[in-house]
Amino acid sequence: MGNDMLSLLLLRLFLVLSALVALAAAQSGTDCNPIKTSGCPLDIGLTNNPYSVDSTKGTMDQASWTSSGAGSVIYTSQGAVLTLSKKGDAPTISTNWYIFFGRVEVLMRAAPRTGIVSSVVLGSDDGDEIDWELIGGNNDEVQTNYFGKGNVTLYNRGGNSAVHDVQGTRHNYTIDWQIGQLTWYVDGKAVRTLKEEDAVGGLNYPQTPMKLRIGSWAGGDPDNAPGTIAWAGGVTDYTKGPFTMYVERMSVTNQYPAASYSYGDMSGNWDSIVLKKDGAADGDQSKEGIVKKNGSSGIASATNSSSLLASSSSSSSQSSPTLYLSSATMGRGDGYVGRLFKVGGGLVLLPFILHFVI
């Protein structure tokens, strides 16, 4: 009897592992992982900040977004219409730029039917990830999740929140991603908060530059691992399709904007990320920029404001640090190359030349 019970527990553990590993693989991925390989390409940053786009105008900002995955992506008065019709389809739109902390809002309706998963994902090159997941077989719930450096050895990261009619009613799904704290909002109401220290003491806390990806996929495809199918609510019946999600508007605030980001080492920690301003070359420096909790001016700044999506409920007006850079520069051009450091109660953007004397 004891052996039977052990076998059952091992089987359940295997199913959970299969689901989570497959889920991570489906959502994140990069051709060059900068904490495992040197010489990875720079991450282009969002500098048009804050950024917003209204897909219901029937067009997409081609300079900012790329469509990928099989399936259909068209733009109509209902927004970006992502349709999964057959096995192998996974229509996705993703940004061509990255953000380094900040706020993301998506106004959307999820795709229906068993086994179909609608996702809003922030993902980095080294496996950091922040998720919204909406399961097609459950019209009144949304799931949240996160990963740090692709670590899937712990299985207590997921969360579930009740949200009425996610398929028929548009809702504002917001991610407020800050150094030290991550909060998920639905229609302006916080449904989950993660403290950095609660993610394995910060080791699993998402903290590297991320792209935004929005799309749908068949978690219930018969060829998927049994655990993935169970998590997605059951086997997908493609004869019940097509399965369509609608994305009406998106807004993004990049907390620490820069022309590009790179990894200063292989730690994957936020204070290893190198911020490079447009026009800067290696060796360019600016005077230090100080992140203050109060202030009213600066060259580069981003704050947690109310919702940028006018037709949705406003989000929390929780205060957050603002980045200020001095206008004075040193070296060639008007660019800077530096990293963020914690100093007292705030953050400081220090030029490379100062790294060697700290």
**Alpha-carbon distance 336 to 127, whole Å?**
27
Per-state percent for the chain, helix, strand, coil, to nearest 5: 15, 40, 50
Catalytic annotation, pick one of 105, 129, 196, 248: 129
Catalytic annotation, pick one of 105, 133, 196, 248: 133
As given in the structure block, the two tokens for residue 88 are 């192998």
196 included as an active-site residue: no
103: exposed, middle or buried (Cβ count in 10 Å: 0-12, 13-18, 19+): buried
Q: Which amino acid is at 3?
A: N
Contact 146, 199 (CB under 8 A): yes
Separation in Å, CA 327 to CA 1, 48, 289, 334, 339: 73, 19, 9, 9, 17
**Alpha-carbon distance 351 to 303, whole Å?**
22
**Alpha-carbon distance 106 to 217, whole Å?**
18
133 included as an active-site residue: yes
Phi, psi values for residue 105, rounded to 5°: -125, 135
**Alpha-carbon distance 205 to 217, whole Å?**
26
Residues 6+ apart with CB under 8 A from 350: 288, 338, 339, 340, 341, 358
Active-site residue set: 129, 133
